[in-house]
Amino acid sequence: MKESLLEILCCPLDKNDLELEDAEYDDSSEDSEILSGTLVCTACGERYPIEDGIPNLLPPDMREESPA
Amino acid sequence: MGILENKARARLFYKYLSQVYDQINPFIWNEEMRTEALSLLEFEDAEMVLDVGCGTGFATEGLLEHVDTVYALDQSEHQLEKAYAKFGKTGGPAQFHRGDAERLPFQTDTFDIVWSSGSIEYWPEPVLALREFNRVLKPGGQVLVVGPNYPENPIAQVLADAMMLFYDEHEADRMFKDAGFEEVKHLFQGPSYEPEVAITTIARAPE
C-alpha cells in the first residue's frame, strides 16, 4: 500500500485514525510503497497487519485465525 | 434468513466460490450489463472511487476505464488473488484492502463514488453496509449497487430464500432510504434470455 493511503484509512471498529508501526518499504518503488507493518488504532489500540503490501483491515472477529 | 450470516461459513463459501466465479458469473452479470451500469454514474469530477466486494476484479476493470485509480475492498483473500493477477498486487491502478462491507475502514466523506456489484446478497445486514457507504461518500456522492432481483418462480424463490438475500424494487427502496440515501432509482438488468435477473440501484448521499 502507498503511504499516502493512510490519510483515508481508519479503524473499522471505531473509525478513529490509524498509526503506522514497524513499516518496511519497497525501495524500488518511487511512491513510498509499504510492504509490511502494522496499523494501530490511536483510540482502541486494535492492530491491523499489512501483509505483502495489502492492509488487512478486517475486524478481529473476521480474521482467519479467529474461530469466528 | 440466509446461510451466510455466520461469518465463518461465509469465508468457506467464498473460498469455493472464487474457484468458479469468473466461469459462472458471465451468465448473470456480463460486460454489457457492466457498461450499462457504469453509464449511470457521473465520472466527470470523480477521483476517489471505491469498489466494495471487488472479488475477482470484474467491476474494478470497468471502473478503471473511467478513473485512474480504484480503491478496492474484499473480505476474501481467495477472491482477491484473482484480482491481484489482473492489476498487480501493489503499485498498480487498483489499491487493494481486505475488509468488511458493514464496517468499512475508510474515513467519513472520502469517496465521490461507491460501487458494489454481486456482493450485497452475501451481507448479513445490508442496511448497515449501505449506511457505511453513505458515511464514506462525500455529500452528493453517488452509490451504485448491483444485486439479484427476487425471482418470480416459486421454486426459485425457495432456493433464493435459503441461499442468500434477494430483494425487489420495493425492498431496495426501503433499504436505501433507511440508509439515508436520496434520489433512489432502480434499473433491472440481465442477459436477453433473463432480462430482469439483476437489480441495479443508484442513489445519492445527501448534500
The rounded average pLDDT for each run of 10 residues, N- to C-terminus, in chain B (207 residues) is: 59 61 58 92 95 96 97 94 95 95 98 94 89 98 87 60 67 94 90 76 96
pLDDT on residue B175: 94
In A, minimum Cα distance to B50 occurs at A8
Q: Cβ of B75 and A55 within 8 Å?
A: no
The answer to whether the CB atoms of A26 and B90 lie below 8 A apart is yes
Do the beta carbons of residue B89 and residue A53 sit within 8 Å? yes
pLDDT score, position B36: 92
Q: Are B141 and B112 in contact (CB under 8 A)?
A: yes
Give the model's confidence band at A66: pLDDT under 50 very low, under 70 low, under 90 confident, else very high: very low
Q: Which of A5, A54, A64, A66 to mutate to test the interface with B (most CBs of B within 10 A)?
A: A54
Separation of alpha carbons B202 and B57, rounded Å: 20
User: Which residue in the set A12, A56, A67 is minimally distant from B103, CB to CB?
Assistant: A12
Closest CA to B26 of B55, B52, B58, B68: B58
Predicted ipTM > 0.90: yes
pLDDT digits (tens, 9 = 90+) for A19-51: 999 999 987 766 789 999 999 999 999 999 999
Q: Give strand ranges (E) for B2-159.
A: 49-52, 70-74, 94-98, 111-117, 137-148
Domain boundaries, chain A: 3-58
Domain B3-204: assigned CATH number: 3.40.50.150
Give all strands of the β-sheet with A34-41 in edge-to-edge order: A18-25, A34-41, A47-51, A54-55
Residue B190 has a pLDDT of 75
Alpha-carbon distance of B194 to B42, in angstroms, equals: 28
Its pTM stands at 0.85
A56 contacts B75? CB cut-off 8 A: no
Query: For the sheet containing B198-204, what is the strand order?
Result: B94-98, B70-74, B49-52, B111-117, B137-148, B198-204, B182-189
Q: What is the pLDDT of residue A32?
A: 81
**Min Cα–Cα distance to chain A from B104, Å:** 5
